[in-house]
Amino acid sequence: MMPDHVHMLVAIPPKIAVSTFMGYLKGKSSLMIFEKHAQLKYKYGNRKFWAEGYYVSTVGLNEATVRKYIREQEAHDQAVDKLSVKEYEDPFSSNRSKKK
């Protein structure tokens, strides 16, 4: 398993939408994490702390299916991270070296 992922088993009341629950959970927890670990604000800057998506299933799903999803989610997250890293080019430099 990857150390940068969280797996949880929760029971959500039927009157609460999964998307509402996940939005609250991810939003509130990121605020709490940044409050307790202020140095992470410098690491993440304006980027989001949590990955864009989430996975929801019933407890009857087998482990192989869960592992497959996690592997695919990691690849997706890495692709999104690469897109969010901007490279700047100095138009006045004859070298035109890229800076991150």
pLDDT tens across the length of the chain (100 residues): 345 667 676 778 889 998 999 889 988 888 888 888 878 777 776 667 777 888 777 666 676 776 677 678 777 777 766 665 555 555 566 654 444 4
pLDDT reported for residue 1: 39
Query: What local confidence, expressed as pLDDT, does residue 47 receive?
Result: 65
Catalytic residue among 42, 55, 69, 88: 69
- Helix, strand, coil in percent for the chain, rounding step 5: 45, 5, 50
The count of C-alpha atoms lying within 13 angstroms of the C-alpha of 21, restricted to the half-sphere facing its C-beta, is 14
69 is catalytic: yes
What are the start-end ranges of the E strands in the chain?
Answer: 88-89, 98-99
Using DSSP, state whether 58 is helix, strand or coil.
Answer: coil
Residue type, 97: S
pTM passes above 0.75: no
